[in-house]
Structure 1
Amino acid sequence: MRQKWLLPPEEDLKYSGPEWLLRVIDGVEADSAGCLLLVLWRAWFVRNELTHSNRKQVIESSVSFLENYWETLCGISRQGLPDSKGDASIGVVIRDEKGKVLLTAWRVVSNAANAEEVELMACKEGITLAAEWTPRPAILESDCSMAIKHVKREHNVIAHELAHLARRLHHSAVWRDRCPACVESLVAQDCKLLSN
């Protein structure tokens, strides 16, 4: 993780008494402290998986998980926090090679175990809708690197906004050849990026 994050020096991470970790955290920037705590948390999880379930974890999987988790934590706004019941929402946008919207969809998801499950549900929904309504070659993109082809969230703003629409309205919909007004400007902006 040192190649990805600015973490405290290795020599500072040695037990030097009951409050050693508090001293380390107190001596670094907030982001470094947060990253260190995530690494320690993940290390404990990996240890528990190996000890109690005899399941080994792939290092790349942990690195990817931690990067996604940190990015998500940094992107959280207090407004619209998900509830603790596992309710979530997904958004899908299907476009042709020129960027024209062929289909938009959004749906509320209940009892989701975690964010990766929701992202995979969004992928499945996109594939299902594409197969049903737009029978042509397709590229699936997601802002979850554990799903399929990772794109940064800023390149997936339309689907992200459609997911927020599903959460706000608490209903699902599929529109062919058009999109809701709340994402029209995002589609236009995204099409400009595609043509450049």
Structure 2
Amino acid sequence: MILRDHVGNIIFSSCRYLFSCNDVLETEIMGIREGLSLALQWSNLPIDVESDNLEGVKMILTGDMNRSKYAFLIEEIKASLIERNSCITHVVRSKNNASHFLANFGRSQCRTVVWLGSGPDELLDIAGRDCNP
């Protein structure tokens, strides 16, 4: 997860090691929920959530009742988005390198970490390229 301001400066970056997940979709949805929750705590502005997981984004955007095993998580995300008049959009993975790096960092290091205003050195380089291709 990475929260940036309107010009791309990092407000915080974070990764979380998940001890158990049923599948990739659950991991992605949990990442969206966790990132949105942290962003709501660290900013008073509307939040634009970007995810490279198209299936998860579609589940959140649909107005239909979600009857999947992820229904509770999806409804929680929807309520959080409404709370601050925020939105979620799908981005291709090549435009989401910073979040992809953080997910791999958390998984490979088996760590949960939050960096305020920064992140690992490699992330700073990646985030700069994501915002300024």
Question: How many residue pairs were aligned?
Answer: 102
Corresponding residue for 1:182?
A: 122
1:74-89 counterparts in 2 under 5 A?
A: none
SS in 1 for 2:30: helix
Amino acid at match of 1:108: Y
Q: Which runs of 4+ in 1 moved over 3 A?
A: none
SS in 2 for 1:136: coil
CA distance in 1, matches of 2:9, 2:33: 21
CA shift, 1:163, in A, is 0.9
Which fold has the larger relative contact order, with Cα–Cα distance below 8 Å and residues 6 or more apart in sequence? 2
CA shift, 1:187, in A, is 1.2
SS in 2 for 1:140: strand
- CA deviation map 1:7-65 (0-9, x unaligned): xxxxxxxxxxxxxxxxxxxxxxxxxxxxxxxxxxxxxxxxxxxxxxxxxxxxxxxxxxx
Tell me, yes or no, if structure 1 residue 127 matches structure 2 residue 67.
no
In 1, are the aligned partners of 2:15 and 2:106 still within 8 Å (CA)?
A: yes
User: As a proportion of its length, which structure holds more strand?
Assistant: 2
- CA deviation map 1:52-83 (0-9, x unaligned): xxxxxxxxxxxxxxxxxxxxxxxxxxxxxxxx
In 1, are the aligned partners of 2:98 and 2:127 still within 8 Å (CA)?
A: yes
Corresponding residue for 1:164?
A: 104
Tell me, yes or no, if structure 1 residue 144 matches structure 2 residue 53.
yes
- CA deviation map 1:78-134 (0-9, x unaligned): xxxxxxxxxxxxxx0111111111110001112211111100000001111001112
CA distance in 1, matches of 2:37, 2:120: 20
Question: Taking structure 2 as the reference length, what is the TM-score of the superposition?
Answer: 0.73
Gaps of 5+ in 2: 58-88
RMSD of aligned Cα (Å) = 1.1
Amino acid at match of 1:113: N
CA distance in 2, matches of 1:117, 1:135: 27
Tell me, yes or no, if structure 1 residue 99 matches structure 2 residue 39.
no
Gaps of 5+ in 1: 1-91
CA distance in 2, matches of 1:127, 1:191: 20
Tell me, yes or no, if structure 1 residue 117 matches structure 2 residue 117.
no
Corresponding residue for 2:85?
A: none
Larger radius of gyration: 1
Amino acid at match of 2:9: K
Q: Percent identity?
A: 28
